[in-house]
A and B are shown apart, each in its own frame.
Chain A
Amino acid sequence: MSNPFAYDFMRIALALAVLIGLTAPAIGTFIVQRRLALLGDGIGHIALTGIGLGLLTSTSPILGALVVSILGAAAIEVLRARSRTGGDVALALLFYGGLAGGVLLTNLEGGGTGLQSYLFGSITSVTTEDLYVVAGLAVVVLAVVALFGRELFLLCQDEEVARASGLPTRMLSLLIAVTAAVTVVIAMRAIGLLLVSALMVVPVAAAQQLTRGFRDTMLVAMGIGVVSAVAGLLTAFENDLPPGPSIVLVALGLFVAAVLSRSMGRSLARRGGSGRTLPSGSEGMANAEVHR
Chain B
Amino acid sequence: MSPAAAPFRMTGGRVRLDGQEVLRGIDLEVAPGEVVALLGANGSGKSTLVRALLGLVPLAGGSTEIYGVPPTRFRDWHRVGYVPQRLTVGGGVPATVREVVSSGRIARRSRLRPFASAADRAAVRRALEAVDLADLAGRPAQRLSGGQQQRVLIARALAGEPDTFVMDEPTAGVDAASQAALAGTLRTLAAQGSTIVLVMHELGPLEPLITRAVVLEDGRVAHVGAPPEPEGECARPGHQHLHPHAPESAPTPLTTWNPA
Which residues of B are interface residues toward A (Cβ below 8 A)? 51, 54-56, 74-75, 77-78, 80, 82, 84, 86-96, 98-100, 103-104, 106-107, 109, 114, 132, 135-136, 138-140, 142-149, 156, 160, 166, 173-175, 177-178
In the complex, which residues of chain B have a beta carbon less than 8 angstroms from the beta carbon of A157? 88, 90, 95, 100, 103
Q: Does A160 contact B (CB under 8 A)?
A: yes
Q: Does A35 contact B (CB under 8 A)?
A: yes
Known: A157-B88, A158-B88, A164-B80. Contact between A217 and B145, CB under 8 A? no
Known: A278-B145, A290-B146. Contact between A165 and B106, CB under 8 A? yes
Choose from A150, A151, A161, A214 the contact partner of B96 (Cβ within 8 Å): A214
In the complex, which residues of chain A have a beta carbon less than 8 angstroms from the beta carbon of B174? 284, 287
Can you spell out 11 A-B residue pairs with CB atoms less than 8 angstroms apart? A147-B114, A156-B90, A160-B51, A161-B82, A164-B54, A214-B94, A217-B94, A282-B145, A288-B149, A290-B173, A291-B86
Choose from A37, A161, A164, A288 the contact partner of B144 (Cβ within 8 Å): A288
Q: In the complex, A97→B104 CA distance in Å?
A: 42
**CB 8 Å contact bits of A201-232 with B (1 = contact, 0 = none):** 00010001001111101000000000000000
A283 pairs with B145, CB closer than 8 A:
yes
Known: A164-B77, A281-B147, A288-B144. Contact between A158 and B96, CB under 8 A? no
Q: How many residues of A contact B (CB 8 A)?
A: 44
Q: In the complex, A164→B75 CA distance in Å?
A: 10
Instruction: Tell me the minimal C-beta distance from A277 to chain B in angstroms.
Output: 12
Choose from B99, B109, B144 the contact partner of A281 (Cβ within 8 Å): B144
Q: In the complex, A160→B96 CA distance in Å?
A: 20
B93 pairs with A208, CB closer than 8 A:
yes
Q: Does A34 contact B (CB under 8 A)?
A: yes
B140 pairs with A212, CB closer than 8 A:
yes
Instruction: Tell me the minimal C-beta distance from A81 to chain B in angstroms.
Output: 14
A166 pairs with B78, CB closer than 8 A:
yes
In the complex, which residues of chain B have a beta carbon less than 8 angstroms from the beta carbon of A34? 90-91
B173 pairs with A213, CB closer than 8 A:
no
Q: In the complex, A221→B56 CA distance in Å?
A: 33
Q: In the complex, A213→B99 CA distance in Å?
A: 7
Q: Does A260 contact B (CB under 8 A)?
A: no
The 9 residue pairs across chains A and B that have the minimum distance between CB atoms: A284-B145, A166-B77, A287-B146, A164-B82, A213-B96, A33-B93, A32-B91, A214-B95, A154-B103
User: Considering only CB atoms, which chain A residue lies closest to B111 in the complex?
Assistant: A147
Known: A157-B95, A166-B77, A166-B78. Contact between A288 and B145, CB under 8 A? yes
Q: Does A292 contact B (CB under 8 A)?
A: yes
Q: In the complex, A291→B78 CA distance in Å?
A: 29
Count chain A CB atoms within 10 A of each CB in B132, B135, B148 and give the residue with the most.
B148
In the complex, which residues of chain B have a beta carbon less than 8 angstroms from the beta carbon of A291? 86-87, 89, 146, 149, 173
Choose from A146, A211, A287 the contact partner of B173 (Cβ within 8 Å): A287
In the complex, which residues of chain A have a beta carbon less than 8 angstroms from the beta carbon of B142? 292
In the complex, which residues of chain B have a beta carbon less than 8 angstroms from the beta carbon of A90? none
A204 pairs with B147, CB closer than 8 A:
no
In the complex, which residues of chain B have a beta carbon less than 8 angstroms from the beta carbon of A150? 103, 106, 109
Q: Does A167 contact B (CB under 8 A)?
A: yes
Q: Does A257 contact B (CB under 8 A)?
A: no
Known: A284-B147, A291-B146. Contact between A208 and B135, CB under 8 A? no
Instruction: Tell me the minimal C-beta distance from B2 to chain A in angstroms.
Output: 20
In the complex, which residues of chain B have a beta carbon less than 8 angstroms from the beta carbon of A170? none
Instruction: Tell me the minimal C-beta distance from B167 to chain A in angstroms.
Output: 12
Q: In the complex, A212→B93 CA distance in Å?
A: 9
Choose from B84, B99, B114 the contact partner of A161 (Cβ within 8 Å): B84
B136 pairs with A278, CB closer than 8 A:
yes
Instruction: Tell me the minimal C-beta distance from A259 to chain B in angstroms.
Output: 13
Known: A214-B95, A278-B145. Contact between A165 and B173, CB under 8 A? no
Known: A153-B99, A288-B149, A290-B173. Contact between A213 and B140, CB under 8 A? yes
Q: Does A29 contact B (CB under 8 A)?
A: yes
User: Considering only CB atoms, which chain B residue lies closest to A164 in the complex?
Assistant: B82
In the complex, which residues of chain A have a beta carbon less than 8 angstroms from the beta carbon of B88? 157-158
Q: In the complex, A156→B103 CA distance in Å?
A: 11
**CB 8 Å contact bits of A49-76 with B (1 = contact, 0 = none):** 0000000000000000000000000000
Instruction: Tell me the minimal C-beta distance from B184 to chain A in angstroms.
Output: 15
Q: In the complex, A292→B44 CA distance in Å?
A: 25
